């Protein structure tokens, strides 16, 4: 056998090694992309919280999808227009919001964010403390994450 020729077993071993390296690289890249998406969703949750605190209607509109289903812990369900209007008009305001115990799970173009929501809510001139659990469903829409659904629940 010449020095340029490679035995069949060595060729198979080299091919298997190359395939493993490619798969490992692709898995690493996918893991990085998933980590980037998780960070993007966390940033979107933070932006939504800031928009709620500021009663920023245009930001709330930009961060939510038209088909939004926004569920409150008391059972009330709002669509996007009702949610944005209640906050932007300050009929429902949040003097303070603190999120804790946040988790984010990304599946393709969708993500689930869960957290504990503590703060204060002001409605009809009355301020009440808030301590609830929240699940949000985010969807990647045109390269940005937008809220599709939110459900709060009593802890």
* Domain 41-154 CATH (choose: 3.40.710.10, 3.40.30.10, 3.40.309.10, 3.10.450.50): 3.10.450.50
Q: What is the pLDDT of residues 78-135, one digit of tens each?
A: 999 999 999 999 999 999 999 999 999 999 999 999 999 999 999 888 999 999 999 9
Over the stretch 131-154, which tens digit does the pLDDT of each residue have?
A: 999 999 999 999 999 999 999 999
- Specify the range with the lowest mean pLDDT, choosing from 29-33, 51-55, 66-70: 29-33
Torsion of CA 107, 111, 112, 115, to 10 degrees: 130
Token pair listed for 130: 């808030």
Give residue 90's pLDDT: 94
CB neighbourhood size of 113 (10 A): 24
């Amino acid at each position: 056998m010449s020095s340029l020729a490679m035995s069949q077993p060595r060729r198979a071993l080299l091919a298997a090694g190359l395939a493993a390296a490619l798969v490992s690289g692709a898995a690493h890249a996918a893991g990085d992309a998933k980590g980037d998406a998780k960070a993007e969703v966390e940033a979107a949750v933070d932006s939504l919280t800031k928009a709620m605190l500021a009663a920023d209607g245009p930001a709330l509109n930009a961060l939510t999808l038209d088909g939004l289903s926004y569920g409150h812990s008391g059972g009330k369900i709002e669509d996007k227009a009702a949610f944005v209007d209640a906050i932007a008009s300050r009929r429902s305001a949040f003097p303070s919001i603190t999120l804790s115990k946040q988790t984010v799970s990304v599946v393709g173009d969708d993500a689930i964010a869960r957290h504990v929501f503590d703060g204060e809510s002001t409605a009809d001139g009355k301020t009440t403390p808030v301590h609830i659990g929240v699940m949000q469903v985010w969807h990647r829409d045109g390269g940005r994450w937008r809220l599709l659904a939110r459900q709060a629940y009593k802890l």
